[in-house]
Chains A and B, each alone.
Chain A
Amino acid sequence: MIEILFLILAFFLGILAGTFTGLFPGIHINLVAFLLLGSAALLTGFSPIILVTFIVAMSITHTFLDFIPSIFLGAPDEDSVLSILPGHEFLIKGKGYEAIILTAFGSLAAIAIVLLLTPLFIFTLPTIYPYIQNIMPFVLLIASFFLIYFEKKSKSWAIIIFLLAGFLGIASLNLNLKEPLLPMLTGLFGASSLITSIMKKQTLPEQKIETIRNIKKELKNTSLFRALGASLIASPLCSFIPALGSGQAAVIGSEVTGDLDRKEFLILLGSINTIVMGLSFVTLYAIGKGRTGSAVAVGKLISNLTFTNLITILVVIVLAGIIAFFLTIFLAKFASKNITRIKYNKLSIGILILLSVLVLIFSGFLGFLVFVVSASLGLVCIFTGVRRIHLMACLLVPTILLYLL
């Protein structure tokens, strides 16, 4: 009985923590999951499934809410980075709320897709994964090739940025930094967007708050299906292939299904983010490999997940998803009402300072150097106008080398 009470408590605390990590720019769920693991010695009295419940609830909630800072503040993490461009377009037209609701639609639909794909993963992944593992570096090389091939603006700049990000990743991951991803990804995606916002002296118009029914009515009948079809194609791959994240899945998915409009792309991003997270726990059960920081943390708490553990995790995913959907609506409404009350430029400067302080605290001075260099490379990408997904070579290239060398 007490264990069930602790389980419920862990679930709600997880949602609270996911709300915090989702809304706070620069705080990634991986960080919280690993802080939790670091303090596991203090939590030995609790059954591991309670801690797992906390991590799963937090991670799913995070995938719903991380679009709020990404769209309103231009401060994303690596999973929501692609939402900046379409999201920002909506924001400067006073439709920031609608952009967030579209990602929330995608995330909610993703919960059903996770449930649908779970049996498929359990039955097929153990058989096909060993073959995929043998060709993994080539799969990653082909994925990299396609990301550059699909670049519409300038392929030569895309190659230069891809290579520079690759070298940046190799250097940063070999510097023995604590939390090396924090300065690198925050610099590449967060700081660079904030610096451009500050330079443009961006001001925001009054944000319109449409009813959910109206937002749904304005969507084309096929939009939801096109977006979800694209995520169904791309996200399973990214759930078990290392270094391919939500961003790459979105690009691959949208290229495969043909040009998606802005609204469909936002739904796609929301769904992929949640599918990749949800399926990473299923992958952990099926082949024992965690492809997200949260799944790795769960794997460390319970080395061999049982079927009962998996069912508990799936129940937590569904419940956390439903609560997170309504939380997203509530918080997006709050943000839309209040974002114009604050000076956007000052807010951007404040967030940039905050991110710098967080990097200094978690990764030290060397981490700060990585942050500055990453922000510069992020700016190169913004100024050249090529897709920022090429910056993810900072993870792709080191992973390819790890398999090849």
Chain B
Amino acid sequence: MEQKELLRISLIISLIGIFLLLFLAKNLELKQINIRNINNNLLNQKVKIHGTILRIIDKETFKIFSVADGTGKIDVLCECKNNSITPNQDIVITGTVQDYKKNFQISADKIIRLNK
């Protein structure tokens, strides 16, 4: 096969593949997990949890939500300026599992309030 032909085939596969991967990255839904199941295997992975806010610590540039779901409790870090989130609210959080001083925490990308 000519090099030009091979270049064209590789370019087409790359273009279609990159669009497909971008589409999947945008649309693949994360499976919801219980807080109890967060372990070392999920470190630096994105997870989705559903729980209730127990308390909120307001730091200067970020907030820490203590969230429980009946199986466990975890701190969720959020660089959010929005003050509409209050204790006892049900929320769904999508974020990355991190290790902070040998405890797991979630750095939130998205928080959805389920009750107002």
Residues in chain A within 8 A of chain B (CB atoms): 37-38, 40-41, 164, 167-168, 170-172, 174-176, 178, 199, 300, 303, 366, 369-370, 372-373, 376-377, 379-380, 383-384
Given contacts A164-B15, A176-B45, A383-B3, contact A370 B40 (CB under 8 A): no
Bound CA span A380–B13, Å:
10
B11-45 interface mask toward A, CB cutoff 8 Å, 1 = contact, 0 = none? 10111011011101110101000000000110101
Chain B nearest CB from A314 CB (Å) reads: 26
Partner of B24, one of A40, A170, A175, A372: A175
A168→B15 contact, CB < 8 A: no
> Once the chains bind, are B15 and A41 in contact (CB under 8 Å)?
no
Contact A167 B18 (CB under 8 A): yes
Q: Given the interface contacts A170-B22, A178-B45, A379-B6, does A41 sit within 8 Å of B40 by beta carbon? A: yes
Q: How close is B22's CB to chain A, nearest CB, in angstroms?
A: 5
* Cα A107 to Cα B10 with chains together (Å): 35
Report the minimal beta-carbon distance from A54 to chain B, rounded to whole angstroms. Answer: 18
Q: How many residue pairs bridge A and B at CB < 8 Å? A: 71
List the A residue with the shortest CB-CB distance to B13.
A376
CB of A370 within 8 A of CB of B10, answer: no
Q: Which residue of A lies closest to B46 (CB)?
A: A176
B45 touches A370 (CB 8 A): no
B13, A373: Cβ atoms closer than 8 Å: yes
Pairwise interchain contact B21-A369, C-beta atoms closer than 8 A: yes
Closest 5 CB pairs of A and B: A373-B17, A171-B21, A376-B13, A174-B25, A383-B7
B55 to chain A, nearest CB (A): 25
Find out whether the CB atom of A164 lies under 8 angstroms from the CB atom of B24: no
Name 20 A/B residue pairs within 8 A (Cβ), A-sorted: A37-B40, A41-B40, A164-B18, A171-B18, A171-B21, A171-B24, A171-B25, A172-B25, A176-B30, A178-B45, A199-B6, A369-B17, A369-B20, A372-B13, A373-B14, A373-B17, A377-B18, A383-B6, A383-B10, A384-B7
Do most interface residues of chain A lie in helix, strand or loop, or is the interface mixed?
helix
A197 → chain B closest CB, angstroms: 14
Q: Tell me whether A373 and B18 are in contact in the complex, defined as CB-CB below 8 angstroms, given that A38-B43, A175-B28 are known contacts.
A: yes
Interface size class of B (residues with CB under 8 A): 20 to 34
A366 adjacent to B24 (CB under 8 Å): yes
* Minimum distance in angstroms from A361 CB to a CB of chain B: 14
Report whether A168 and B11 are in contact in the complex, using a CB–CB cutoff of 8 Å: no
On whether A377 and B14 interact (CB within 8 A), knowing A167-B22, A175-B21, A303-B101, the answer reads: yes
Closest Cβ of chain A to B68, distance in Å, is 24
Q: How far is the CA of A168 from the CA of B25 in the complex (A)?
A: 11
B3 proximity list for chain A (CB < 8 A): 383
Given contacts A176-B45, A178-B45, contact A380 B14 (CB under 8 A): yes
Binary CB contact string for chain B from 33 to 69 against chain A (1 if under 8 A, 0 otherwise):
0000000110101100000000000000000000000
5 extra A-B contacts, CB within 8 A, seeds A164-B18, A172-B25, A377-B10: A174-B25, A175-B21, A175-B28, A199-B6, A384-B7
Most chain B CB within 10 A, of A38, A41, A376, is at: A376
Partner pick for B21 among A41, A168, A199, A384, CB 8 A cutoff: A168
Chain B residues near A373: list those with CB within 8 A. Answer: 13-14, 17-18, 20-21
Q: Which of B13, B18, B24, B25 has the most CB of A within 10 A?
A: B18
B10 touches which of A38, A174, A176, A376 (Cβ 8 Å): A376
The smallest C-beta distance from A386 to any residue of chain B, in angstroms, reads 12
- Expressed in whole angstroms, the Cα–Cα distance for A164 and B14 within the complex equals 8
**In the assembled complex, which residues on chain A have CB atoms less than 8 Å from the CB atom of B25?**
170-172, 174-175
B22 contacts which chain A residues (CB < 8 A)? 167, 170-171
Give the Cβ gap from B81 to chain A, nearest Cβ, in Å: 16
CB distance from B84 to the nearest CB of A (A): 23
Q: List A contacts of B18 (CB < 8 A).
A: 164, 167-168, 171, 373, 377
Residues of A contacting B21 in the complex (Cβ-Cβ under 8 angstroms): 168, 171-172, 175, 369-370, 373
